C-alpha cells in the first residue's frame, strides 16, 4: 500500500481565487430563492449515478454520459442581473458567461472532489441561504496542499487561472438547505 500523503494547510488563498462577502443583498437573495424554487430541478446524474443534489443548466449543459457540451434552454431573465454582477467580479462581460448551473443542496448533501471540465474557463459561484465549507486541494510532491473558504450566504467566489486548472474543489455535506448559482465561461 502506498504511503498516505501529507496534508499541508495553506493560509493564503490559491492564485486565481477571489472571494467577496455581501455580493448580494438579503432582498436580492430572497427574490432569487423564490425564482429558483419554481425551477424544474432534477437529480444530478454522473456516469449512471444519481447524486443527492438537484440541478438545472441554462445556455449550455455538460453531459457526463456523453462527455459533450450541448445547447440548453435560454438563461432566464431573473438570472441576468446576477450574471452581470458575476461578470463584473471577474472583470468580464456578461456574454462571457454563457453557461449557468443552478444547484440545490438539501441537508446532508455533499459534492465530491472535482475540477470543472476543461471545456469551461473562468467560474463564478454565488452562495444562497446557508454557509458551507468550500474546500480546495492540490497534489504536490510533498502531499496535498489544502485551503478552505467558508462561503457565507449572499457571497461569491471566482476561480481563474491556477486555482481553476490545478486545484480540485469540494463541499462536505451541508447542514441546511443551500442553493448555488454557478456561471461558467467557455474555453475557446
**Residue 101 confidence (pLDDT) above 80:** yes
Q: What is the pLDDT of residue 81?
A: 98
**Is 1 a member of any domain?**
no
In this predicted structure, what is the pLDDT of residue 151? 98
* Least confident window among 43-47, 112-116, 124-128, 143-147: 43-47
**pLDDT over 90, % of the chain:** 73
Q: In which domain, by residue range, is 87 found?
A: 6-186
129 part of a folded domain: yes
Instruction: Summarize the confidence of residues 82-93 as an average pLDDT.
Output: 98
155 burial via Cβ count (<10 Å: 0-12, 13-18, 19+)? buried
119 falls in which pLDDT band (50, 70, 90)? confident
Per-residue pLDDT tens over the stretch 157-183: 999 999 999 999 999 999 999 999 999
C-alpha cell at 144: 496535498
Region 106-117: mean pLDDT is 91
Label residue 136 by pLDDT band (50, 70, 90).
very high
Q: Which of 21-35, 44-58, 120-134 has the lowest mean pLDDT?
A: 44-58
In a domain, residue 119? The reply is yes
How far is the C-alpha of 62 from the C-alpha of 52, rounded, in Å? 18
- Please say if the pLDDT value at position 104 is more than 70: yes
Q: Mean per-residue pLDDT for 74-81?
A: 98
CATH number of the domain that residue 79 is part of: 2.60.120.590
What pLDDT sits at residue 118? 81
Of the candidate ranges 68-72, 102-106, 123-127, the one whose mean pLDDT is the lowest: 68-72
* 23 lies in some domain: yes
Predicted confidence at residue 174, as pLDDT, reads: 96
Could you read off the pLDDT of 41-69 as tens digits, one per residue?
988 765 556 667 899 999 978 666 666 67
Q: With respect to residue 27, please indicate whether it lies within any of the assigned structural domains.
A: yes
**Residue 164, in any domain of the structure:** yes
Any bridge partners for residue 9, and if so which? Answer: 146
Which helix or strand (DSSP H or E) is residue 162 part of?
helix 162-165
Q: How many CA atoms lie within 13 A of 3 on its CB side?
A: 7
Our count of domains for the chain comes to: 1
Amino acid at each position: 500500500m502506498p504511503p498516505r500523503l501529507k496534508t499541508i494547510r495553506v493560509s493564503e488563498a490559491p492564485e486565481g481565487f477571489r472571494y467577496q462577502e455581501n455580493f448580494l443583498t438579503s432582498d436580492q437573495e430572497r427574490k432569487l430563492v423564490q425564482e429558483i424554487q419554481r425551477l424544474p430541478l432534477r437529480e444530478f446524474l454522473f456516469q449512471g449515478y444519481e447524486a443527492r443534489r438537484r440541478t438545472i443548466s441554462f445556455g449550455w449543459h455538460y453531459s457526463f454520459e456523453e462527455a459533450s457540451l450541448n445547447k440548453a434552454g435560454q438563461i432566464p431573465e431573473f438570472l441576468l442581473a446576477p450574471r452581470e454582477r458575476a461578470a463584473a467580479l471577474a472583470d468580464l462581460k456578461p456574454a462571457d458567461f454563457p453557461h449557468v448551473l443552478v444547484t440545490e443542496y438539501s441537508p446532508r448533501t455533499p459534492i465530491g472532489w472535482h475540477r470543472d471540465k476543461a471545456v469551461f474557463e473562468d467560474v463564478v459561484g454565488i452562495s444562497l441561504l446557508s454557509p458551507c465549507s468550500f474546500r480546495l486541494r492540490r497534489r504536490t510532491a510533498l502531499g496535498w496542499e489544502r485551503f478552505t473558504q467558508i462561503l457565507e450566504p449572499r457571497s461569491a467566489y471566482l476561480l481563474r487561472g491556477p486555482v481553476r486548472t490545478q486545484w480540485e474543489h469540494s463541499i462536505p455535506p451541508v447542514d441546511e438547505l443551500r442553493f448555488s448559482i454557478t456561471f461558467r465561461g467557455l474555453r475557446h
